[in-house]
């Protein structure tokens, strides 16, 4: 639900990007006064700890072969940046980063069960008898591996998330040795919000958030009443809890979780977490990259920001060597209907199904139906107040057709006529969804039945019959699974899946897997099962598939596994949400395409790369090469070719990337020349192929990103493809700063201040005063944002250099506010007087020393005094 309002607010802003309100309001958030520090390998860190001694407290110590360092919190937040800058100068310190905060992914919760005891959750879903028929598995060939008895036995997968409800019978029912969830740690505790101090304990139970329990079921759910299993039910899971019941997680918490998952011997680590970035240099991404380098494959979801258009890569999936996972929609849309009973004119009870809404006090309700209209085609049924002669509806269940106005409005009109129970019927053939009308306080229960059931009842009512519903209790009633084929977007990229590439033209995502409309486990306290959509759901499936492939091949080598899933994946057709187009989906949207687990597990051809990145026009890598290795026992001849995928235009007539759907795609492909059109590779031998690109001749000012696949058809029956991408135009020449302006710290919307503004600052850093704020309104990502202070003296201005905290490295494409408390980067207070900010953002691939590589915007003047 959250996702769709997010998309709508963006679509509503498609017209112009001139005001702060018109742009996506997300901001990269940091924990004030907190830093992640990496130590030099060979150096003693006591110098560092002596230095911070009384000024800061250590949040976490990192002592792993992957990363040695600490995260710290300065007691005095106001002077923290000075101190942090000084720390960076110590010989024991390699790097210092601000401690960034990440939100729980905004996945769409489509349906949740109502049973608080999963073993008592009854369903009329057919149990699997040997064969895996779960559609995400059919889409990715997991069923074919499972048919051979491959389950990822004994492989350890670390899950970085909200913890796992290991009490759930489908998630093993216990925690510890011998259990499905056999290891892990709670790094944060229930009350952690991202902004307070984590309170760790050794129990990573998820009883209040749900996300991690859903993700874990996708990997390893055991057979259950709902008729599915995880991809690799033979693995054991490690649960690393990084979110409390609500809120966010900081970098240091994520780093700690990854280091623990690594040190505890995880063979694979997965995280369905991310934040807008586009840069691989973020500390969390750096740690994940190093773990991959150390031999543990890591999958990270690509993000749910598809609406933001191209170049919106998410960290840590945008880290080097990290396998970034995009989402495609499920072939089927699962609809879970709670079974209940009805009778017509006192006849036999018959069964019907409905989706439980909110509230849902249906248990024991036994009342006749009443409909405001017998017209089963009426678009706006129940949208107007009921006529005065309406009977008292307190003893009825009001049956209303879905459509036009909101559920709340329809429920309010019914409630005003005395109704306590409302059942909607759908206005489209397939399925139903659970309405929420909880703000209409006199309504006790709500739900929605299918269109066909609703129409049948209305016809009975119209014929003068009485229809009585005998409602079951949603917490204990059986549930039936209705599957409708998704003929519009099934198998195509989910519209929410984030578009790449990175700002440095790295190919992301690597592959796609089903993440739209996925049924999995959910904490028993929250209803035991749920259907959710997001790249969060696509990512764990690939982690499970990595386990299955590793089980078959006996290797965890990350580069090998990634090359196998990429080369055997199936490219997709472009689909902007309304059906397949006649062109392949762009690599920056789906990577190599939909994962094919069986082909990857048994391929005897191994490519040396999982993608080719040709970079932009300025840095064009005209010729790249890769190696084909034949691991089989017979010589194989490969026919080589290439196929273009949709070229996607980043910009149209604005300096902001076009939003999706809405961005332009075309079939103007690059020309690919291969060093040979066919090659015979002896058994256990290899051959090198060079690939020369001629980018399409297109308008570089619109930064079109071209992509496609090198294809290999082997006489061993293996058809492989290797994705590539590149951009026409210059990232270096692309404007990154829209404008910079002056605002004030007390305005939550950070609107521009007009006219002259004056501020009374305090030299007591703990005093609460209104500060001037420099707002960098970013159109594109920048490797460095610098906020400088200009002193106005009569007709001249003098540049005093960076303010405290500035500069900021690797900025995503988000609004960037920086408050000024009177101090410059060296910690000195400027004298009272008149000033302006010079807001400066470095171009991608720019040279910080060259003035012309910066976009600069000077704000309105303001005066500063001290109290
Ligand atoms: C499982 O699949 C195989 C091959 O498709 C089929 O022959 C067999 O009947 C199926 N078994 C069940 C129990 O459906
Ligand atoms: C309502 O359904 C329940 C079963 O859930 C049944 O035991 C009961 O007799 C029914 N009540 C009526 C009035 O039909
Ligand atoms: C593109 O070129 C720039 C400049 O040389 C380089 O920093 C970047 O890593 C290149 N990108 C890729 C994916 O190779
Ligand atoms: C390779 O196989 C694919 C089907 O997987 C086919 O579409 C393509 O035309 C084949 N290419 C060559 C060069 O035969
Ligand atoms: C590979 O492509 C050829 C056509 O070029 C096709 O006949 C064959 O079935 C394909 N093999 C697989 C495994 O898809
Ligand atoms: C400044 O002016 C703009 C338009 O001229 C207006 O939208 C904005 O709200 C004003 N800001 C303040 C703080 O009054």
**Tens-digit pLDDT profile for residues 166-197:** 999 999 999 999 999 999 999 999 999 999 99
Q: What is the CATH number of the domain that holds 528?
A: 3.40.50.200
* 211 tagged catalytic: yes
**161 belongs to the catalytic site:** yes
Tell whether 244 and 155 lie within a shared domain: yes
Q: Which among 525, 555, 585 is the end of a domain?
A: 555
| pLDDT tens-digit series, residues 722-765 | 999 999 999 999 999 999 999 998 888 889 998 779 999 998 76
In sequence order, what E strands does 21-121 have?
29-39, 56-63, 68-74, 93-103, 108-112
In a domain? residue 247: yes
In this structure, what DSSP letter does residue 527 have? T
pLDDT tens digits for range 58-87: 999 999 999 999 999 988 776 777 777 778
pLDDT band (50, 70, 90) for residue 27: low
Please report the atom of ligand 4 found closest to the CA of residue 641: 13
Is residue 301 in a domain? yes
Least confident segment among 22-31, 295-304, 321-330, 704-713: 22-31
Please indicate, yes or no, whether residues 741 and 723 belong to a single structural domain of this protein. no
Residue 525 and residue 384 share a domain: no
Residues 190 and 317 in one domain: yes
Is 287 inside any structural domain? yes
- pLDDT tens by residue, 494-526: 999 999 999 999 999 999 999 999 999 999 999
| 293 and 190 in a common domain | yes
Same domain, 723 and 743: no
Tell whether 369 and 434 lie within a shared domain.
yes
Q: What is the mean pLDDT of the chain?
A: 92
Of 432, 452, 483, the residue that ends a domain is: 483
CA of 423 to the centre of ligand 2 (A): 19
Q: Choose the residue to mutate in 598, 717, 720 for probing ligand 5, maximizing ligand atoms within 8 Å of C-beta.
A: 717
Annotated catalytic residue, options 34, 277, 301, 536: 536
Q: CA 559 to CA 570: how far, in whole Å?
A: 19
Query: Do 323 and 290 touch, CB atoms closer than 8 A?
Result: no
Whether 30 sits among the annotated catalytic residues: the reply is: no
Nearest atom of ligand 2 to the alpha carbon of 341: 2
R_g of the chain, CA atoms, integer Å: 29
Nearest CA to ligand 5 atom 1: 719
State the Cα–Cα distance between residues 109 and 450, nearest whole angstrom: 20
* Rounded average pLDDT over 779-788: 96
pLDDT for the residue numbered 2: 22
Is residue 12's pLDDT more than 60?
no
Asked if residue 296 and residue 162 are part of one domain, the reply reads: yes
Q: How many domains does the chain have?
A: 5
* Residues pairing with 34 in the sheet: 73
CB of 470 closer than 6 A to ligand 2?
A: yes
Question: 66 lies in which domain range?
Answer: 9-103
Percent of the chain whose predicted confidence (pLDDT) is above 90: 80
Highest mean pLDDT of the ranges 93-97, 153-157, 432-436: 153-157
Question: Model-level pTM?
Answer: 0.92
pLDDT the model gives residue 16: 23
> According to the model, what pLDDT value does residue 423 have?
97
Ligand 4 and 711: CB distance under 6 A: yes
Q: How far is the CA of 571 from the centre of ligand 4 (A)?
A: 12
Token output for 184: 């892990």
pLDDT at 570 exceeding the cut of 90: yes
**Is 417 inside a domain boundary?**
yes
Query: Over the stretch 821-841, which tens digit does the pLDDT of each residue have?
Result: 999 988 899 999 999 999 999
- The CATH number covering residue 765 comes to 2.60.40.4070
pLDDT at residue 17 tops 50 = no
Distance in angstroms (rounded) separating the CA atoms of residues 206 and 241:
8
Nearest to 278 by CA among 101, 500, 495: 500
Residues 157 and 294 in one domain: yes
Q: What is the pLDDT of residues 198-210, one digit of tens each?
A: 999 999 999 999 9
The domain that holds 81 is classified in CATH as: 3.30.70.80
Quick: pLDDT tens for 409-439: 999 999 999 999 999 999 988 778 889 999 9
Amino acid 848: pLDDT: 97
Q: Is the pLDDT at 688 greater than 70, yes or no?
A: yes
Which of the residue ranges 20-24, 104-108, 515-519, 628-632 would you say has the lowest mean pLDDT?
A: 20-24
The last residue of one of the domains, among 453, 483, 513, is: 483
Give the pLDDT confidence of 659-674 residue by residue, as tens digits. Answer: 999 999 999 999 999 9
How many residues in the chain?
Answer: 867
Inter-residue contact 430 to 484 (CB < 8 Å): yes
Give the model's pLDDT for residue 323.
Answer: 98
Would you state the pLDDT for residue 850? 97
Which CATH number characterizes residue 471's domain?
3.50.30.30
Stronger pLDDT, 720 or 114, i.e. the higher one = 720
- C-beta separation of 288 from 262 below 8 A: no
Predicted local confidence at residue 13, as pLDDT? 22
Q: Which residues pair with 184 in a beta bridge?
A: 239
Kindly indicate the confidence band of residue 128, based on its pLDDT and cuts at 50, 70 and 90. low
Reported as a pLDDT band with limits 50, 70 and 90, residue 54 is: confident
Q: Which ligand is nearest to the CA of 280?
A: 3
Residue 805: pLDDT over 90 = no
Domain-embedded: residue 168 = yes
**In this structure, which residue's CA is closest to atom 4 in ligand 1?**
131
Largest Cα–Cα distance in the chain?
A: 93
For residue 709, which ligand has an atom nearest its CA? 4
Residue 727 located in a structural domain:
yes
Same domain, 318 and 179: yes
Cβ 784 vs Cβ 844: under 8 Å: no
Tokens, residue 47: 């110098």
Residues 362 and 286 in one domain: no
State what percent of residues in the chain have pLDDT above 70. 96
Does residue 3 surpass a pLDDT of 50? no
- 172 and 311 share one domain: yes
Q: State whether the beta carbon of 254 lies less than 6 angstroms from ligand 6.
A: no
Which listed ligand is nearest to 129 at the C-alpha?
1
Identify the residue with better confidence: 519 or 116. 519
Is 150 inside a domain boundary? yes
Cis peptide before 661 (omega within 30 of 0): yes
More confident residue, 481 or 541: 541
pLDDT at 240 over 90: yes
What does residue 458 show for φ and ψ, rounded to 5 degrees? -60, -40
Q: How big is the CA angle at 226 (ends 220 and 229), to the nearest 5 degrees?
A: 20
**Is 475 inside any structural domain?**
yes
- Tens of pLDDT, residue by residue over 330-384, are 999 998 899 999 999 999 999 999 999 999 999 999 999 999 999 999 989 999 9
DSSP string, 190-231: TT--SSS----BS--B-SS--HHHHHHHHHHPPS-TTS---S
Beta bridge partners of 811: 782
According to DSSP, the β-strands at 397-401 and 366-370 are parallel
Residue tagged 């026992």 (tokens)? 633
């Amino acid at each position: 639900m959250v996702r769709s309002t997010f998309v709508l607010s963006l679509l509503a802003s498609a017209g112009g990007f001139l005001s702060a309100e018109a742009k996506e309001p997300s901001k990269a958030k940091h924990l004030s006064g907190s830093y992640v520090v990496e130590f030099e390998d060979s150096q003693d860190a006591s110098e560092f700890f002596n230095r911070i001694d009384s000024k800061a407290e250590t949040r976490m110590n990192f002592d792993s072969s992957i990363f040695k360092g600490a995260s710290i919190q300065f007691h005095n937040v106001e002077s923290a940046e000075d101190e942090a800058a000084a720390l960076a100068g110590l010989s024991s310190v390699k790097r210092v980063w601000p401690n960034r905060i990440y939100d729980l992914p905004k996945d769409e919760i489509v349906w949740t069960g109502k049973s608080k005891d999963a073993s008592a959750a009854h369903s009329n879903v057919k149990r699997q008898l040997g064969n895996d028929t779960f559609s995400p598995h059919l889409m990715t060939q997991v069923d074919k591996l499972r048919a051979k008895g491959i389950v990822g036995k004994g492989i350890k997968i670390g899950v970085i998330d909200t913890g796992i409800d290991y009490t759930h019978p489908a998630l093993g029912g216990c925690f510890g040795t011998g259990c499905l969830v056999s290891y892990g740690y709670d790094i944060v505790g229930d009350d952690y919000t991202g902004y307070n101090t984590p309170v760790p304990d050794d129990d990573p139970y998820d009883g209040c958030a749900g996300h991690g329990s859903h993700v874990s079921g996708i990997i390893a759910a055991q057979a259950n009443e709902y008729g599915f299993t995880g991809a690799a039910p033979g693995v054991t899971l490690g649960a690393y809890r990084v979110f409390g019941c609500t809120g966010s997680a900081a970098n240091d918490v994520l780093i700690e979780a990854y280091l623990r998952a690594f040190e505890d011997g995880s063979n694979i680590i997965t995280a369905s977490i991310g934040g807008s970035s586009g840069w691989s240099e973020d500390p969390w991404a750096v740690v994940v990259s190093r773990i991959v380098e150390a031999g543990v494959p890591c999958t990270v979801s690509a993000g749910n920001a598809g609406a933001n258009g191209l170049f919106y890569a998410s960290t840590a999936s945008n880290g080097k060597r990290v396998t970034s996972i995009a989402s495609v929609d499920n072939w089927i849309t699962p609809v879970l209907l709670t079974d209940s009973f009805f009778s017509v004119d006192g006849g036999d009870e018959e069964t019907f199904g409905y989706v439980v809404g909110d509230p849902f006090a249906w248990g024991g309700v036994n009342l006749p139906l009443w409909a405001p209209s017998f017209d089963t085609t009426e678009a706006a049924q129940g949208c107007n107040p009921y006529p005065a002669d309406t009977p008292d509806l307190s003893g009825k269940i009001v049956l209303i057709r879905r459509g036009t106005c909101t559920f709340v409005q329809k429920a309010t009109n019914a409630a005003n006529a005395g109704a306590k129970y409302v059942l909607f019927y759908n206005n489209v053939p397939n399925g139903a969804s659970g309405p929420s009308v909880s703000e209409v306080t006199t309504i006790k229960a709500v739900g929605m039945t299918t269109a066909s059931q609703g129409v049948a009842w209305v016809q009975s009512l119209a014929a003068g019959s009485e229809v009585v519903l005998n409602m079951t209790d949603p917490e204990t009633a059986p549930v039936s699974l209705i599957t409708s084929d998704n003929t519009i977007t099934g198998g195509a990229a989910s519209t929410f899946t984030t578009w790449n590439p990175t700002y440095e033209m790295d190919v992301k995502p690597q592959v796609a897997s089903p993440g739209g409309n996925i049924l999995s486990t959910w904490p028993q306290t929250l209803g035991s099962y749920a259907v959710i959509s997001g790249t969060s759901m696509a990512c764990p499936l690939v982690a499970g598939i990595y386990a299955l492939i590793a089980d078959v091949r006996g290797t965890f080598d990350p580069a090998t596994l990634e090359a196998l899933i990429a080369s055997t994946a199936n490219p997709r057709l472009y689909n902007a949400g309304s059906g397949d187009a006649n062109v392949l989906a762009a690599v920056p949207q789906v990577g190599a395409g939909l994962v094919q687990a069986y082909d990857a597990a048994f391929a005897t051809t191994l490519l040396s790369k999982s993608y080719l990145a040709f970079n932009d026009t300025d840095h064009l890598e005209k010729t790249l090469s890769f190696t084909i290795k034949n691991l089989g026992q017979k010589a194989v001849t490969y026919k080589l070719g290439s196929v273009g995928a949709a070229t996607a235009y980043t910009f149209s007539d604005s300096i902001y990337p076009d939003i999706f759907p809405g961005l332009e795609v075309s079939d103007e492909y690059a020309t690919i020349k291969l060093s040979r059109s066919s090659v015979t590779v002896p058994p256990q031998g290899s051959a090198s192929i060079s690939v020369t690109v001629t980018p399409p001749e297109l308008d570089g000012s619109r930064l079109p990103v071209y992509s496609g696949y090198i294809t290999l058809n082997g006489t061993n029956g293996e058809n492989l493809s290797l994705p590539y991408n590149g951009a026409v135009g210059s990232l270096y020449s692309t404007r990154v700063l829209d404008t910079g302006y002056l605002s004030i710290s007390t305005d939550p919307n950070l609107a521009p201040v007009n006219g002259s503004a004056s501020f009374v600052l305090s030299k007591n850093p703990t005093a609460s005063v209104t500060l001037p704020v420099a707002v960098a309104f970013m159109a594109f990502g920048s490797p460095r944002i610098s906020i400088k202070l200009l002193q106005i003296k009569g007709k001249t201005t003098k540049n005093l250099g960076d303010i405290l905290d500035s500069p900021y490295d690797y900025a995503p494409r988000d609004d960037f506010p920086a408050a000024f408390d009177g101090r410059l980067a060296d910690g000195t207070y400027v004298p009272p007087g008149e000033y302006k900010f010079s807001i400066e953002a470095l171009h991608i691939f720019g040279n910080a020393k060259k003035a012309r590589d910066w976009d600069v915007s000077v704000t309105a003047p303001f005066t500063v005094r001290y109290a």
